[in-house]
Structure 1
């Protein structure tokens, strides 16, 4: 692919900026992991690198390990003081990995070694097993180049179907095991709790500024909250870039930063906005074999045996959340001097905001704002 085409489709946003020196961390990490694996004599950390191609919120290091007679890997996940959004308590992340492993056959890495004492790294942290596999790229989008792009149609279709099947299993998790996600003070249902939570996030992200589309959308969402809004597990950041595959098989589902009790509808509305933001919004054809958002929802309904409900409201809420999150990200990066010139409009007219204005017939922020194409696009 030419450099001009590559530049056109690059999202222009860096992954998480790390300020720690991985080399300096290696001895203490080796000591911690040796305590977790006493059978691995003379364990050392031979390499520590930040991931590339995905991730702007989490502080993560990929570790190569060696010990007498063997080698392997681990992942270090450190709670971030500088986040895109208010998120569940840090120990909820490890609890969800462990719960999914206990109650389903959805593949997740084994999570272990939670340390809540900030003495070592200034923040809580835990480890995960490092899984062999590859993740569809965020930057540039996997529909434009890379290993998924190079697969044949049948292989991509199989990956997509596995992703939808895994989500169907997640959405069936029992509510009595998910009490760590409850926010009863914010509403009666999981949907209402998540909506009220995100209204507070909008105010936090705006930090005293005003935004006509977001504020008008908040009023519409409040007035049109589904009367029978339900409660169910939502993965949260439901998108292909949080899935890992190896030789065509799904080997890990990752990232609980946005987990909630908003239910399956919340996940598929988010999947839709994320899909369209890197295909329709950028003039990029979706890869053959990879189902459209409408196809994805139809397959889930077939697998789960129920219909998704109130999707107009959920699409608007997903666009609202995306608009606020990307606005927050852009402001964070701009304050550090890291926001690329091609992404300056993300501060007030990103694709979530553009879609939101179109969905709700609100005045667009600019004449070239993209219209909402619907999930079949």
Structure 2
């Protein structure tokens, strides 16, 4: 496998903001919410003055505790953690919650994706929470005015649990590697059940009209999904990138191997992997990260789910580690999924290769971002912008 600088423990740069200032702004904004006694019902002012020690002397008795950042935060967004108390406008009782504000990337953060649609994420999380028993964090508020915190944001309840880490990948060490094979088998079953529950939501297109294809009259979810990925790739090229042979050959392979019958569209999680699930033991306690949700065949998620683990396992073997070879055996996962859903999984090799293509476009953009922030050098071979290019070449050759 072709490697880049420090591929297993990469530095990630995200936008910065003064946390004390964010605390003041959050207090002012929350005081203006209609759910808060005395709230004006608006988004509040910017809260650009006042002491950082916020006390319950504003409308609704709003208190916001210390604002912090999670130890690990994604590159496609900024998350901040805070506790808040307020007086309910409905009951007059004091309420409190541990919250997360998820913000759009700042303009100077070299975004990984061209669009970060918080309203769509808010709607998807709300629908999944209402129509399944999955532990999706309660989404409380959506603020689309960038003047409040400097970027649009949504606020949701904070979840507990731990996720298998990406950087360095969980196959190199940690709690999942230390589990017994029986515990990992149970975690696998629970994780596959998450996919089955998401895909079991009835009438997703009616519940989530914001996921409708961008092109009028287009009702083929797979076609729309692939076209969107190609547009994303072209955007990365226009935004300071370059054409990458392995990606373009993979797009050609996808078109040449199109499924005869892609099957019905479901609500596709999009970033379907265990790194986006929090666990307590083997039990999921939160299902996170819905920015890539779409209407697409169920196999889009299954391919991504399996490919992501295999990519990490391939990295482990490349660097002389055993990894976790007993986790996410393809036949086992397919059998468990089919038993839970009553569906027959079709054309998985196509969707598995498509997952490799999707990840290649994202990794190429991330590597370009690292170059922008001085964390890596530009490789001589364009394919080396894609960490797993050898694995992807192997897939499309087969």
TM band (smaller chain):
0.7 to 0.9
Matched, 1:159 2:187: yes
Q: 1:89 aligns with which of 97, 117, 131?
A: 117
Q: 1:229 aligns with which of 246, 256, 262?
A: 262
| Distance of 2:250 and 2:115 partners within structure 1 | 22
* Equivalent in the alignment of 1:182: 212
* Equivalent in the alignment of 1:215: 248
- Counterparts of 1:3-22 in structure 2, within 5 Å, are 11-15=8-12, 17-22=14-19
* Equivalent in the alignment of 1:50: 69
**2:171 alignment partner, SS class:** coil
| Distance of 2:325 and 2:349 partners within structure 1 | 27
- Cα RMSD for the two superposed structures: 2.9
Normalising to structure 1: TM-score of the pair?
0.84
| Distance of 1:352 and 1:298 partners within structure 2 | 28
* Equivalent in the alignment of 1:265: 299
**2:83 alignment partner, SS class:** strand
| Distance of 2:12 and 2:97 partners within structure 1 | 25
CA apart distance, 1:179: 2.2
| Distance of 1:149 and 1:220 partners within structure 2 | 35
Matched, 1:63 2:74: no
* Equivalent in the alignment of 1:195: 226
Change (3 A) 1:349 1:340: closer
* Equivalent in the alignment of 2:44: none
User: What is the CA deviation profile of residues 69-123 of structure 1, one whole-angstrom value per residue up to 9, with x for unaligned ones?
Assistant: 8864100011224432245632000001100011111110000211111211232
| Distance of 1:209 and 1:163 partners within structure 2 | 37
- Counterparts of 1:240-259 in structure 2, within 5 Å, are 240-259=274-293
* Equivalent in the alignment of 2:48: none
CA apart distance, 1:325: 0.6
| Distance of 1:28 and 1:67 partners within structure 2 | 15
**1:233 alignment partner, SS class:** strand
Change (3 A) 1:287 1:345: farther
Contact 2:233 2:361 in 1 (8 A): yes
| Distance of 1:166 and 1:356 partners within structure 2 | 27
Change (3 A) 1:247 1:357: closer
* Equivalent in the alignment of 1:305: 342
| Distance of 1:194 and 1:337 partners within structure 2 | 33
CA apart distance, 1:356: 2.0
Change (3 A) 1:34 1:194: same
Name stretches of at least 5 consecutive residues in structure 1 with no aligned partner. Answer: 1-7, 362-371, 373-377
**2:167 alignment partner, SS class:** coil
CA apart distance, 1:204: 1.5
CA apart distance, 1:218: 1.4
**2:82 alignment partner, SS class:** strand
| Distance of 2:30 and 2:380 partners within structure 1 | 42
Name stretches of at least 5 consecutive residues in structure 2 with no aligned partner. Answer: 38-55, 88-93
Matched, 1:74 2:99: yes
Normalising to structure 2: TM-score of the pair?
0.80
Bigger Cα displacement from structure 2, 17-26 vs 33-42? 33-42
Q: Kindly tell me the number of residue pairs found equivalent between the two proteins.
A: 354
| Distance of 1:91 and 1:344 partners within structure 2 | 40
